[in-house]
Amino acid sequence: MACEKLHSELPGKVTLPSDENYDNRANAYHFLSARQRPQCIVSPSSAEDVSVALKVLRGFPDISFAIKSGGHSPHPDVANTNNGVVINLEGLDSIARSSDREDVYELGAGVTWGKVYEVLSKEKRSASGSRECTVGVGGFVTGGGLTYFSPERGFACDDVVNMQVVLASGDIVETNKTTNADLFRALKGSRSNVGIVTRVDIITHARDNIWGGAIMYPATTEDAQLEAFWDFKSSGIYDPHAQVEVSFIYSAAMGCSFVSNNHWYGQHIENPPTFKRFQDIKDQMTNTMRLETIDVFAKELSKYGPKDQHAVYVTTTFTLTPTIMKKINSLWNATSATLSTTQNILSVITYQQCPPPPPADAPNAMGFPATSKPHESLIIFIASLYWDLAADSDFVRQTSRDLMDKIEEATKAEGAFHLFKYMNYAAPWQNVLESYGNEAHDALKDVSAKYDPEGLFQRQALGFKL
């Protein structure tokens, strides 16, 4: 009944399973594990259409709905569903310079970062967006957003100056640090808990080529990699332009493990000395370090990244110590051996620094006070696993969960555990919103009660809930 009502209220914008283009739309997700069979797919072309959809769904309290911007999450029942409705925001794909500020661009929530970078690169500008071009703006920003410029500018949401959002009532409102400021804060890190963001107004900055790329090494360099990363983070000199992702990878297809590091320096500086410790590690298999645009780097990561497989992400955060990464790697190596018979398994763990906190006058939802220094010592960790067969999914997901339990036991034993979970890397079973701390979690509950008193988003919207 809900889909029939939506079809009546939004003619030409609702796709039913009987429609010819249903399969293409239902399967338009990056990973196989996120491809489900919703009762119908709503494709709004405006915030007003989103408002109509929410007003209809309020009348069907037993119908769940998912919100899709880019469809990059690997998890089922996040941006898709088998038993409800998908609100597909890809039609909200506008990119326009703000009439109020030349450095601000207004982005539709359904546009991908690749399209944004293509526009900005022509102006020799960039923005705090995804490091992959196929990721959608809305889900990325409302999940926080780790970017090429995070060591300097924080999470992507910290560069947002305004959001247009459709509330549970159907009202369309603007949110910023002076208008609906509590809602604005809540949207920066809570995804679909208080409304549907339809437009993001984000600061852009003059930026041409930056130094970046990837270096691949054999697995025998593991100890050298861990030592280099420890030196990079413990030098006592924080470089706000330098970013390193250290990844350890087991590939069943290749029959071996190896190391792949992504480095980016957010300035037009060739061979910055801060990366020398990694450059000096020998036996490099490939090295693509060079000066290039963000547009090209994002396309490169998307080209070589996994897709069209089943996948799971799971995350944790910890304080870096001289020994904790070695312990984590040992746990991961044992897990990869357990998974080695899974068809075409790709097992990856990645270490990267946490961004700095937002300023006091523009907080986000994630609970880091402006006076804190998470960028100096905290590491955001992700284990990402990819495989071919749906029949292996329960085994791989449980194995990833067991691995994370062991990793967090190790970080707690070393006094390095931190509660924070980065939403865009988190597994469905992880308590992301509680990980922001009691004060931040309570603030989100207050905002939910104020702007959604009947609990539409808590009751019906899929994803991490309060």
Q: State the average pLDDT over residues 90-105.
A: 97
Put simply, whether the predicted model's pTM sits higher than 0.85 gets the answer yes
Residue 235 has a pLDDT of: 87
Q: State the average pLDDT over residues 266-280.
A: 96
The predicted-structure confidence for 331-341, as pLDDT tens digits, reads as follows 999 999 999 99
Percent with pLDDT over 70 in the chain: 100
Residue 408 has a pLDDT of: 98
Q: State the average pLDDT over residues 97-126.
A: 97
Average pLDDT, the chain: 97
Q: State the average pLDDT over residues 321-342.
A: 97
The predicted-structure confidence for 390-420, as pLDDT tens digits, reads as follows 999 999 999 999 999 999 999 999 999 999 9
Residue 236 has a pLDDT of: 87
Angle at CA of residue 178, ends 174 and 182, nearest 5°: 75
The predicted-structure confidence for 363-373, as pLDDT tens digits, reads as follows 999 999 999 99
Structural domains of the chain ordered from first start: 2-90 (3.30.43.10), 92-207+442-459 (3.30.465.10), 210-436 (3.40.462.20)
In angstroms, what CA-CA distances link 166 with 12, 87, 366, 437, 452?
A: 21, 12, 22, 27, 11
Confidence of residue 33 (pLDDT cuts 50, 70, 90): very high
The predicted-structure confidence for 155-210, as pLDDT tens digits, reads as follows 999 999 999 999 999 999 999 999 999 999 999 999 999 999 999 999 999 998 99
Residue 118 has a pLDDT of: 97
